[in-house]
Amino acid sequence: MEQTSAWKKYDEQQLAELEDFAQKYIEFISTNKTERECVRTAVELAEKAGYRNLDDLVAASESLEPGARVYATMRGKSIILIELGNAPLTEGLNILGAHVDSPRLDIKQNPLDEKNDLTFLDTHYYGGVKKYQWVTLPLALHGVVAKKDGTVVPICIGDKPGDPVFVVSDLLIHLAQEQMQKKATEVIDGEMLDILCGNRPLVSDKDKDEDEKNPVKAKLLSILKDELGIEEKDFLSAELEAVPAGPARELGFDRSLILGYGHDDRSCSYPSLVAQLELESVPERTALTILVDKEEIGSVGATGMTSKFFENVVAEVLALAGYGESTLALRRCLANSRMLSSDVSAGFDPTFASAFEPKNAAYIGCGLAFNKFTGSRGKSGSNDANAEYVALIRKLMDDADVSWQMAELGKVDLGGGGTIAYILAKYGMDVIDCGVPVLSMHAPWETISKADLYEALRGYRAFLRG
């Protein structure tokens, strides 16, 4: 079945809406490069849209009626937003699930080092990356430093005008004969991803014999203390992420594409958030959007999808909505739910055409991509959506005139990937993967089409209202 470009169907009004949404998305991913930043912004937008903190409602034992809007967060890194519908909660929810973490370089807990009058921060890469792609790029530092006195210092250096940036150095081509003979997986190893962050020594007023043993490191520490109130031991309780510096940009003479960091998975999480917040009338079925952390490393931990956060929040909402504290109502609610696991798909790249099976690939500009299954090779680790559910999704998308396509993640024997879909499917609910096709997925800079981003928004709107 031949795919048709979504661009061909738009009228002037739709093109204007597409461009407006694309610009808002570019601003969002340019200023929200970590899971903490995404959740903080989501909370701000939710409260403006009339959402209330679930913790406050539980504390006040406030009852919930159709139309009630609530949100809950976990450790500032995951968020759930719910608008109660007219139908009983035990008839199920319409759920959008996406993740807000992206591949990056995490700063280690004991990171500072001085070598030959240069200071470095040691890193531990996060998620699946091609390590050689992270050298010689301008990098920014985002995150928090938690101090023993309970204060938390936000860090964002490298993305504001006039900010310094950071970099991982590489070997010059003139001396790289041996390096160039290595396999791509060996050109740069994990311990070589040290971030260069200084060269100026601390000049002492004392005699030279009493100068600092590591004067460049000492200078850096003096700057951190003076400007941020941070000492070296504070790195022990810090969460700092090195991410590509600079904003997302329009790409191409026609400005039809977007080049940016973190399209995986913010090109799905942002449209999901917007579709949830802009529901204009009380939905028939309760609408829920979850933006979750840790997907790139297996959805583990308190802020990942495998935690009890999702289940606990739904249980609290059921109790406030008058269903009591029995687990039976919770089980019925989740088993009768439907979900779109909103994660990106591999866009067909003609430069690497041999990695794809063309009939079952997602094409840039052809709309929202659905993956009936993910996993690897023999569908290992896959959620495989029921045919009946796929048929329902087909009808929802076609009735809303959404451009969409069905895809797989490359050739069968080459690899594969996973999402949070299988984790939610354990409740017995219907789940299917869908998202925006991406070029250069997991690279520091990824590429998507504005049309696919817009169709994701339209598809998520249709699903939540369906």
* pLDDT for residue 206: 62
pLDDT digits (tens, 9 = 90+) for 180-205: 999 999 999 999 999 999 999 998 76
CA distance 54 to 71: 6
- List, in order of start, the domains of the chain with CATH numbers: 6-102+261-465 (3.40.630.10), 104-244 (2.30.250.10)
Cα distances from 458 to residues 79, 84, 198, 441, in angstroms, run 22, 21, 47, 23
Provide the angle, in degrees to the nearest 10, between the axes of the packed helices 12-31 and 450-465. 100
Burial category of 16 from C-beta neighbours within 10 Å (exposed 0-12, middle 13-18, buried 19 and up): exposed
pLDDT digits (tens, 9 = 90+) for 223-266: 999 999 999 999 999 999 999 999 999 999 999 999 999 999 99
Phi, psi of 110 (to 5 degrees): -125, 75
Residue 211 has pLDDT above 60, yes or no: no
Residue 208 has pLDDT above 60, yes or no: no
Locate 399 and state its tokens. 């009735």
pTM, two decimals, is 0.95
Residue 207 has pLDDT above 70, yes or no: no
pLDDT digits (tens, 9 = 90+) for 107-160: 999 999 999 999 999 999 999 999 999 999 999 999 999 999 999 999 999 999
* pLDDT for residue 409: 85
Residue 210 has pLDDT above 70, yes or no: no
Alpha-carbon radius of gyration of the chain: 24
pLDDT digits (tens, 9 = 90+) for 325-365: 889 999 999 999 999 999 999 999 999 999 999 999 999 99
* pLDDT for residue 243: 98
| Cis previous bond, 56, omega within 30 | no
pLDDT digits (tens, 9 = 90+) for 353-408: 999 999 999 999 999 999 988 877 778 778 889 999 999 999 999 999 999 999 98
Confirm if 99 and 297 have CB atoms less than 8 A apart: no
pLDDT digits (tens, 9 = 90+) for 291-313: 999 999 999 999 999 999 999 99
